[in-house]
Structure 1
């Protein structure tokens, strides 16, 4: 998606709108904080590149800490935390792509970098794949975590035989292979509206899947809790429900942060030439900030909801601080 002089074109479905690199190819203009009024009297809010860079770096550091904490603490070596670790990697892809492209933009804006447009388009395609992989893998791992919590609650006594570490690793490998492959195909066939339809359909399908699991979990969990109490597994039930609530928060944040982006895709299909939809398209940078904020907020949710993870993160930060001093 690419906006040029009020018209919508389709050289790329994600990063052409998804980042400032394509703005460089089209207009070579620097973002500013002031709102601009276009010919439809629409407000186009410009976001400074420095804000993108700052949020991207913070998000990157947070997600790296989460991944390192899960690797370091053996108590966190379980399928659920493996999936959470992969979700952190997905968020990290957004952060890395944002930081890389923003640095390129800042260097170019200050005259410190002279890059051939062809190279920028190749870089743009790579970042497209990273962003698309992040979307697909994030949704997939949210579904995987939901299924894991479902099994923990309703098949507690058989959980370790159903969700073995080996199966968890196989699931992780399959999800990443599918995410990367589909992302490459999406970018190769970016001019086809079917690509946008696939992304929107996948988004809606995963939301329905999670909603069905949540409804079943929270409506019938009290029935199973009595059975688990009878087998002296109170702690497991409490932990499982806490994990389900954590996942609910993660999914809610994901919907709030990624929702405008998917609405953008839907409007491209529904009203690509409508002046009113074009007003919505012009503020895509606001949606990008929300997406980066999702990558920044997720680690805070992990730390807040998991005492074990929070404790490990605190130890790592304190050790780093002491080492630095």
Structure 2
């Protein structure tokens, strides 16, 4: 394995590397692949889901799928090599492992970028509702997605190619921290303004139709923001151990105590892959329109949605 996942042979530590059985990786990878493909197909087939937010969610599902499939394939090759069915030929194996690590890093950067795009989209939806369709057109959405995928691919290749240069790792860490702070700020600001707005609506005289419609529309937007906050929380919980692993490689690569944490790398990877399992479940539980589309696809209640 590449430096991202392996322990330096020269480091002395009393913590043996924890191994996760391959069937666990394989099961999580296959199930998450099926779930996220279901999300992508649902958004593509349902015209009601053709909106910028769902496009960004499709991007997030695609990045989740890349992470799960990459680690599942890597572990499958390791199992086959250990069983003698694949030959270890040196440079080709290293190049292939670099490609897999690049895809994994691309998924990590792409997920946080997708969450940032979703947070901005929700902000515009709530606070610039009348201008939303002029600001977030599908052409701009496609351009944003193209920019996200291009930048993520370039950053992932640079990170793996120049992994030994601390400057690259520092830039990667700064990007993650700044993106995390920006997303948290947007969501905190949205919920703080929501409380103020709810009080202002409650203080209005009477209970007319306009007031009721405004309350329902605002409540719907805030429920969407809450759902995305839950998704973001799941991302942080599942990816944080892997991110800390990368930080440790930069800060204390040879410290025995740090190596004890790095010995849990495979557990961190399983947790990271589990994020791809959790997201579709949150979609189905929190988003009525997407849940309705899932039901049509799975039970073939509408021939247009049959899988």
What TM-score results when the alignment is normalised by the length of structure 1?
0.84
Q: 2:221 aligns with which of 218, 226, 240?
A: 240
Q: Does 1:262 align with 2:266?
A: no
Aligned to 1:5: 9
Alpha carbons 2:18, 2:265 under 8 Å: kept:
no
Whole-Å Cα distance in 1 between the matches of residues 17 and 140 of structure 2?
48
SS of alignment partner, residue 191 of structure 1: coil
Aligned to 1:277: 258
Change (3 A) 1:212 1:63: same
Superposition deviation, residue 174 in structure 1:
0.8
Q: Does 1:305 align with 2:278?
A: no
Change (3 A) 1:217 1:196: same
Superposition deviation, residue 208 in structure 1:
0.6
Alpha carbons 1:153, 1:221 under 8 Å: kept:
no
Aligned to 2:33: 60
Aligned to 1:27: none
Q: Does 1:287 align with 2:268?
A: yes
| CA RMSD in angstroms, aligned pairs only | 2.2
Whole-Å Cα distance in 2 between the matches of residues 298 and 61 of structure 1?
12
Whole-Å Cα distance in 2 between the matches of residues 251 and 170 of structure 1?
23
Q: Which runs of 5+ in 1 are unaligned?
A: 8-38
Superposition deviation, residue 125 in structure 1:
1.3
Whole-Å Cα distance in 2 between the matches of residues 122 and 280 of structure 1?
27
Q: Which runs of 5+ in 2 are unaligned?
A: none
Whole-Å Cα distance in 2 between the matches of residues 108 and 229 of structure 1?
67
Count, aligned residues:
291
Matches within 5 A, 1:78-157: 78-157=51-130
Aligned to 2:188: 215
User: Which whole-Å deviations, capped at 9, do the CAs of 1:105-154 have from their partners, x for residues lacking one?
Assistant: 22223332234232221211111121111111111110110011111111
User: Which whole-Å deviations, capped at 9, do the CAs of 1:247-272 have from their partners, x for residues lacking one?
Assistant: 11111111111111121222223222
Change (3 A) 1:113 1:219: same
Change (3 A) 1:204 1:118: same
Whole-Å Cα distance in 1 between the matches of residues 13 and 84 of structure 2?
33
Q: 2:144 aligns with which of 171, 175, 186?
A: 171
Q: 1:75 aligns with which of 44, 48, 63?
A: 48
RCO higher in structure (CA 8 A, sep ≥6): 2
Superposition deviation, residue 285 in structure 1:
0.8
Whole-Å Cα distance in 1 between the matches of residues 144 and 194 of structure 2?
26
Superposition deviation, residue 230 in structure 1:
4.2
Whole-Å Cα distance in 2 between the matches of residues 276 and 294 of structure 1?
27
Superposition deviation, residue 99 in structure 1:
2.3
Whole-Å Cα distance in 1 between the matches of residues 240 and 29 of structure 2?
19
Superposition deviation, residue 243 in structure 1:
1.4
Whole-Å Cα distance in 1 between the matches of residues 80 and 14 of structure 2?
32
Whole-Å Cα distance in 2 between the matches of residues 116 and 295 of structure 1?
32
Matches within 5 A, 1:224-239: 224=197, 226=201, 230=211, 232-239=213-220
Superposition deviation, residue 40 in structure 1:
4.4
Whole-Å Cα distance in 2 between the matches of residues 234 and 287 of structure 1?
42
